[in-house]
Amino acid sequence: MTITPEDRASITELLAMHGHLVDAGELERLDEVLTADVVYDVTDLGAPALEGIEAICAASLALGEGNPVGHLVTNIVLSEVDDGSVRARSKGIGVNADGTTGTVTYLDTVIRTERGWRIAHRKLIAHPAPLGGRASAPAAD
């Protein structure tokens, strides 16, 4: 499968729309960006993986005021997969109500459905330390 320019635009918009829907609290519309049986792996953030849109909605509502007020997605890189799916790697920046921020990497499997492209699997990778947690430069002698 070759990712066409139209596919790239659609998938990029899909990734952006997820943040718009969550930030607006329009959780009932998540089927516009996620498959019904999506796996949303947030284990790197200390929570269990969520399976299905209903589980994601319930977890979001349970988090309440702890949810970021802004989800920004950037640095999107798309790769073709032999099975017809697309791997999307992007950076997520979350802005909290108190002005603090955090960043993650999203690793997505995106599939084409009858209703268009949808995220079937998302893994969030937290970034608690610069340079991916690698050791700092060696001390000078």
Q: Which tens digit of pLDDT belongs to each residue from 7-47?
A: 999 999 999 999 999 999 999 999 999 999 999 999 999 99
Q: How far apart are CA 4 and CA 8, in angstroms?
A: 6
pLDDT at 137: 62
135 has a pLDDT exceeding 80 = no
pLDDT band at 119; cut points 50, 70, 90: very high
3-class state of residue 75 by DSSP: strand
- Which one has a higher pLDDT value, 141 or 55? 55
Rounded alpha-carbon distances, angstroms, from residue 66 to 38, 39, 124: 22, 21, 17
Asked if residue 1 has pLDDT above 90, the reply is no
Confidence class for position 128, pLDDT limits 50, 70, 90 = confident
Taking the domains of the chain in order of start, what are their residue ranges? 5-129
Span 51-104, pLDDT tens digits: 999 999 999 999 999 999 999 999 999 999 999 999 999 999 999 999 999 999
**Distance from C-alpha of 102 to C-alpha of 128, rounded to nearest angstrom:** 8
What does CATH list as the number for 5-129?
3.10.450.50
- The confidence score (pLDDT) of residue 94 equals 96
> From residue 5, how far is each of 10, 60, 80 by CA, in Å?
9, 33, 13
Task: Write down the pLDDT at residue 138.
Answer: 65
